[in-house]
Amino acid sequence: MVSNKLVRWGLCLAAVWMLTGCKTGDVTDIANPGEESPSEEEVADDSSADIVKVASAQSASAFLSRATFGPRMEEIDALVKAGNYNQWLESQFAKKPSYHLAWAKNRLKGVSRKGYLRDNPEDWREYSSQMDDVQRDAWWDIVVNGQDQLRQRVAFALSEIMVISRIGVLETSPDSRMSYYDLLVKNAFENFETLLQEVTYHPAMGRYLTYLGNAKADPEEGNHPDENFAREVMQLFTIGLYELNLDGSQKLDAQGKPIPTYSLQDVEQMAKVFTGLTDQNGAFFSGDGDSSHESRTKPMIPHEEYHDTSEKIIMGHTLPAGRDTRTDIDDALNLLFNHPNTGPFISRQLIQRLVTSNPSPGYIRRVASAFNDNGEGVRGDMKAVIQAILLDREALEGATTRPQVFGKAREPLLFVSHLFRAFHARNEENILTQGSYRLYRYNSYNFNGTGYTKQEGPLESLTVFSHFTPDDAPYRLKKEGLVAPEFEVFGTHGVHQQLLGLINKDGFIYRTFDITAELKLNAEIALARAGKHDELLDRLDILLVGGGMSQVTRNTIADYIEQQQDLLSDEERVRHVISLVMASPDYAIQR
């Protein structure tokens, strides 16, 4: 068990801003915006064609914390050796995607006493409850060990914007959820319009937002088309509620009020567009016919007799009468894709998910400009958007140029993924038996249950608004005009009690839940054994904090080591030091 004293030290170090009231010294108050961001003349529009050099191991680590699920020391060293970020990005763009559904199909053998799941896909339905954890197992293995780190990190960000969830109608369809996540992985580097189209036609989204089997109005029955997707595709997936300038600021009318992007009538008209779609099970209405693996994972198809063919007027644009389902849908999505809001609306959220919660207007404008035109006249090029986000001067230098507002609270999942990646957590065989035979066996971390991560799991948000909303923040930050969305999923002590347990092999956590995540700590233990605690802290500063460990945190941990040195083994000392670094405010805020 983790000692109570270590927990108290860790929780005190992790008292970010207002959460607990513990004090470790004078920590910069991020709630105070402080100095203005550099002027537009000082921050010239960055070009992805420019070679951006790696300044140091610390800056390489900070970059990788934004672009991966947490850097490893050998990855930091390789990036420093390469000398520039552009080469790393091009290498990641070329990596073969790691797909979750393929992961499961190629590993699950013995389901219903048969061969591999890939050869018996209908077993997904028969054994859906037993295979529910497979989605999480695949996700954890890929984000920790997959080589396509940037693609997976962007897909995760997209999953928090274009939300479906295990909570609700998709609970018994793990194959559908994994197929949807693979869609995000596939399109992470493609064009945003293609992504939007494929999201719209996926049966998981059709079921989640209830437009699968959505029929045109029936005046005799008094029925109207379902409006769920019509509303959310505008509000959450593309243009947002209010008209925006290119820099993400709201446009105001003559009375100084925000200008709505759409009206209730627009929602009603848009709902008519998304009629006539259903899955490939041979029936139209949801629940009719047999559900198959194909119907849960292949794009929805139109049944024209149920599509509303009347004229539709949406935000001042007319979709003529008499057209088929696909034409109406494709034109409506194209309208949203080309709306001037889409660039800044999506760009800001991707910046928030990857880099900083409070990007400057100039940062948003530069990324939105890349969304609007990749330099070759192409709109929606996701590679150009990602390059603009990660190579922007504010992303690379914001910790120095905007120290009091730059950065983002790490999500609970990212604490754990970084721990597992940084210390090469080993996954072990996971076997599920049913009766006298094995249902499946494969290597995994067996890290299941959202209680581990304060109710945050991949594709497990409680609502379509994801685990948090882009504009939310604790009251103290809101007063300063700042946001901190990730705090919506943090409890009083955040993720740290669990984190310390994972690092220190807490018997309750490991034995009770059969977690298999043995950390490789050879290099760190060697430094502790030699009494090189300063070098140990230097190493962890680069590996975990990107060189951002404050003197306050370093002194606090050094004091702890001195007090406990004669009471701890070398390995215990290392585990405790890692715990305290990762429970510190310096680590809690990704900078």
Q: Of all residues in the chain, what percent carry a pLDDT higher than 70?
A: 88
Cα 197 → chain centroid: 20
Q: Of all residues in the chain, what percent carry a pLDDT higher than 90?
A: 72
**Predicted confidence (pLDDT) per residue in 71-100, tens digit:** 999 999 999 999 999 999 999 999 999 999
Ordered DSSP codes for 323-348 = --HHHHHHHHHHHHHTSTTHHHHHHH
**Predicted confidence (pLDDT) per residue in 345-385, tens digit:** 999 999 999 999 999 999 999 999 999 999 999 999 999 99
204 vs 129: CA distance, rounded Å: 17
**Predicted confidence (pLDDT) per residue in 442-465, tens digit:** 888 988 755 666 668 899 999 999
- Residue 31 reports pLDDT greater than 50: no
In eight-state DSSP terms, residue 186 is H
| Average pLDDT rounded to a whole number, residues 179-188 | 98
pLDDT confidence of residue 22: 39
Report which of 92, 35, 21, 43 is spatially closest to residue 63, judged by C-alpha positions: 92
pLDDT confidence of residue 453: 65
When pLDDT is cut at 50, 70 and 90, the band that residue 33 belongs to is very low
177 vs 125: CA distance, rounded Å: 13
- Residue 115 reports pLDDT greater than 80: no
- Residue 53 reports pLDDT greater than 90: yes
- Residue 201 reports pLDDT greater than 70: yes
Q: What is the pTM of this model?
A: 0.92
Report which of 134, 119, 118, 213 is spatially closest to residue 173, judged by C-alpha positions: 134
- Residue 155 reports pLDDT greater than 90: yes
Instruction: Say if residues 570 and 528 touch (Cβ distance below 8 Å).
Output: yes
- Residue 525 reports pLDDT greater than 80: yes
* Segment holding 225, helix H or strand E: none
441 contact partners, CB below 8 Å, separation of at least 6: 109, 110, 429, 430, 431, 432
Six-digit token string for 420: 């597992």
Phi/psi at 305 (5° precision): -65, -15
Instruction: Say if residues 456 and 467 touch (Cβ distance below 8 Å).
Output: yes
Strongest mean pLDDT among 387-391, 510-514, 561-565: 387-391
Instruction: Say if residues 225 and 272 touch (Cβ distance below 8 Å).
Output: yes
Q: CA angle 218-220-226, nearest 5°?
A: 30
Question: For the purposes of burial, counting CB atoms within 10 Å of the CB of 269, is it exposed (0-12), middle (13-18) or buried (19 or more)?
Answer: buried
When pLDDT is cut at 50, 70 and 90, the band that residue 48 belongs to is very low
pLDDT confidence of residue 501: 86
- Residue 565 reports pLDDT greater than 90: no
